[in-house]
Amino acid sequence: MESLSNDTVIDVEPDSLPLDNDSPHRLATAAECGVEDEEVPNTIAGINSTAFLKSVPSRRPPARVVARCTQEMSNHQRSIHPEERQAIYNLLKSFNSLGTFSNQMVKALNMRNLLLNILGETKTSVKPYEYPEPLQRNASIILERLDFEVAVEAAAEQPSPSPEPDPNPKKRRKSTVQSPTSAMSRLSIDDSYSKHVMRGIVITGGSRRSYLLDRNYRPEPRDCKIVGNNGLVVGDWWPLRICALRDGAHGAIQAGIAGSSQTGAYSVVVSDHYSELDRDLGDTILYSGSNSHSNEDPTTPHVSFATKAMRASYARRQPVRVIRSGKLEGSFAPRKGLRYDGLYSIESEAIEKNANGGAYVRFTLVRCPGQRGIDMSRPNRREREAYDLLKHMA
C-alpha cells in the first residue's frame, strides 16, 4: 500500500463491499440448521412453560435447555445431538418471534446469558465446546437486536479506582430510578458538545443509569457490518460503547469482537479483559480469542463464534477496526472513553497457554500502513469534560 501523509484519511476499498451473497442480517433456516421447522411459542409464558428438550423439565426451560446442552458437550467433549440441535433452534426461533424486546422480557428469559452461552462466551466452562455455526449465527443476530432494543447499564471506560469503604453498609439507598428521558435534556443546556456526543441516546435510571438508542432519532444508527473505516476518522472518540454502536464503529455492547464466521470480524475493542494475555505495542497488538482465561484443556482451545470471526478475517486478509478503551492500561490507551485507532490486519494466529495450562488462540494484529498516526490527543479537554459531566450528572 502506498504511504500517505499524516493528514490523509484512507479507507480500504471497497468500503462497503458485501462479503458474499448471503446477508449477515439473515437468520439461518431450519434446513440450514439441519432440523425440522416446527411451531414454537411466541410469548414469555409460552416459552417458559414449554419443554423444548424432553430430558429437561418444563420449569424455566430456556435456562435449563442451554445449560444442559453446554454441560453435556463440554463434559463429554462431544458435538451436539440431533434432539439438542432441534431444541436450541426452536428456542432461538421463539426468541426471534417475540415483539420488540424489553428489559422485563430479557430478564424473564435470561436471554442475554443464554445467547452468549450459545456463542461460546460462557465464563463457567473449563473445557471447550462448540455449537453448530448456523445456530451461533442466529444467536448472534438476536443478540444484536438486544443491543439495539434494550437499555444496558454502561460501565465506565476508564481504569477503575479502588473502592472506598461504605460507612453505612447496612443502609439501603433510596431508589433513584426515573422515567426514560432524552440525554440532551439531562445535560447542561449550555454544553452543546455534550449534547452532540450523546445525540440519539436515551438515558434511563438514576445512580445506575442505562442507555438505549432512540428509535425516533434521525439519521438512524449506521450499520456496523461494514468492512473498513465505515466513515470513521482515526481519533474519533466516544464516552460509551453505545455511542460507538450508533456511529457504526463496533456492533456489540459487551463483546470485544464484532462479526461472524461467515463475514469475518468487522471490529475489536482492546480493553483490560485479557490484560495478562494480550499485549498492546501500538502498531502491533497481540489479541486473545474468547474464553482464553478459563480453558483447561492443554491441546484444544475454546473457539467461540467471535474467535471464528477473527479466523475468517485472517483467511480473507480482511482488516478490522481497532477501538481502544480507557479501561486498558498502557501508553496507547485513551484516558477515558473509547477511541478509534484505525485499521489493523491480522497477520498471524498462534496457540498459546494460559495460567491453567489451557490452550487459547492469540492473533497478531498489525496496523495497516498509510493511515494517520494514533491520535494520542484524544480525548481532548472538551471530550474529557463531557465524559465527566455524563458520569456525574444528576
The whole-angstrom separation of Cα 308 and Cα 289 is 9
Nearest to 290 by CA among 278, 311, 305, 275: 305
The whole-angstrom separation of Cα 210 and Cα 212 is 7
Q: Residue 384 in 3-state DSSP?
A: helix
pLDDT at 323: 97
Query: Which residue type is seen at 27?
Result: L
Nearest to 261 by CA among 314, 311, 211: 311
Nearest to 343 by CA among 228, 260, 226, 230: 228
Q: Which of the 8 DSSP states describes residue 329?
A: -
Host H or E run for residue 363: strand 359-367
The whole-angstrom separation of Cα 122 and Cα 259 is 18
Pairing of strands 181-182, 201-204: antiparallel
pLDDT at 330: 85
pLDDT in tens, the chain (394 residues): 333 333 333 333 333 333 344 566 789 999 999 999 999 999 999 998 888 987 776 566 688 889 889 989 988 999 999 999 999 999 999 999 998 888 888 888 989 889 999 998 876 666 888 999 999 999 999 998 888 888 665 555 655 444 444 444 444 333 333 334 444 444 443 467 777 888 888 887 666 778 888 888 888 888 899 999 999 999 999 999 999 999 999 998 888 999 988 889 999 999 887 777 889 999 999 999 877 888 888 998 989 999 999 999 999 999 999 999 998 888 899 999 999 999 999 999 999 999 889 999 999 999 999 999 999 999 999 999 889 888 776 4
Which residues fall within 8 angstroms of residue 153, CB to CB, at 6 or more apart?
Answer: 205, 208, 209, 210
Q: Which domains does the chain have, with CATH numbers?
A: 30-146 (no CATH), 152-157+175-392 (2.30.280.10)
Give the three cell numbers for residue 57.
423439565
Which residues fall within 8 angstroms of residue 308, CB to CB, at 6 or more apart?
Answer: 133, 136, 260, 261
pLDDT at 16: 32
pLDDT at 100: 86
Tell me if 348 sits within 8 A of 364, measured CB to CB.
yes
pLDDT at 162: 43
The whole-angstrom separation of Cα 247 and Cα 226 is 12
